[in-house]
Amino acid sequence: QVLLQEAGPGLVQPSGTLSLTCTVSGGSIRSNYWTWLRQPPGKGLEWIGYVFHSGTPTYNPSLNSRVTISVDTSKKQFSLKMTSVTAADTAVYYCAGARAGDYVWGYFDNWGQGTLVTVSS
Amino acid sequence: DIVMTQSPDSLALSLGERATINCKSSQSVLYTSNYKDHLAWYQQKPGQPPKLLFYWASTRESGVPDRFSGSGSGTDFTLTISSLQAEDVAVYYCQQYYTTPWTFGQGTKVEIK
């Protein structure tokens, strides 16, 4: 059973950078496509992007210019950085794993518990 | 982007009743190369992350009760709960993974009447 745990500041200043990490335990960091999603309070889910242990990350074009997702296999962690944040970026941020066969299967069978990030001064 | 539209937005039923949630995609999510519909369903309870119920539109995730079923193909999909239980109170989401950006429906809230 793969376990995922998000970590990072719960409060970010407007125009600042949001930084989160997700630690993978109970499984291989090389087996899944590691993904970030978010959910504004009381609203629906938005896919942010994914990374494999090798290869180029793929991002949601709506966030592409502000987002970087990376993976550190030695630490069994993957990370999200989002720049120039505003109040609209306030959300619960989830890390998740997407399975893969001969291509990435973009459904998520493992999720972290989520972490609320509030953008406010 | 593929737009996913669920109906209804909410429904309230009595225990034991049948719940039907519909999901429509703005374009087909069926890969003709492998004849798989790239559609997943999730259940989200308050304060919890979403839980995968179905993938490939109708493949039940391990541990999901068989009162839940997923059906449909192409652009029209359905999640059915054959006999609603108290523990099924949640918001249900469909998601397409046919092409990035992967997108979700707006959610359907299921409550007990």
* Residue pLDDT, tens place only, B32-61: 988 999 999 999 999 999 999 999 999 999
**Both tokens of residue B32?**
């003709």
B52 interfacial to chain A (CB closer than 8 Å)? yes
How far A5 CA sits from the closest chain B CA (Å)? 12
- The alpha carbon torsion through B53, B55, B59, B65 (nearest 10 deg) reads 0
A95-117 pLDDT tens trace? 999 988 888 889 999 999 999 99
How many Cβ contacts (< 8 angstroms) between chains A and B? 51
Non-local (6+) Cβ contacts of B79 within 8 A are B20, B21, B23, B41, B53, B54, B68, B69, B70, B92, B94
Residue A19 has pLDDT above 90, yes or no: yes
Q: Between A47, A98, A108, which is nearest B103 by CB? A: A47
Q: Beta partners for B90?
A: B110
Q: Is A21 on the interface with B (CB under 8 A)?
A: no
Contact B50 A109 (CB under 8 A): no
Query: In this predicted model, what pLDDT tens digit does every residue of A28-52 receive, in sequence order?
Result: 888 899 999 999 999 999 999 999 9
Q: How far apart are CA A108 and CA A45, in angstroms?
A: 12
Residue whose token pair is 């469909």: B94
| Residue of B100, B103, B106, B108 best to disrupt the A interface, most CBs of A under 10 A | B100
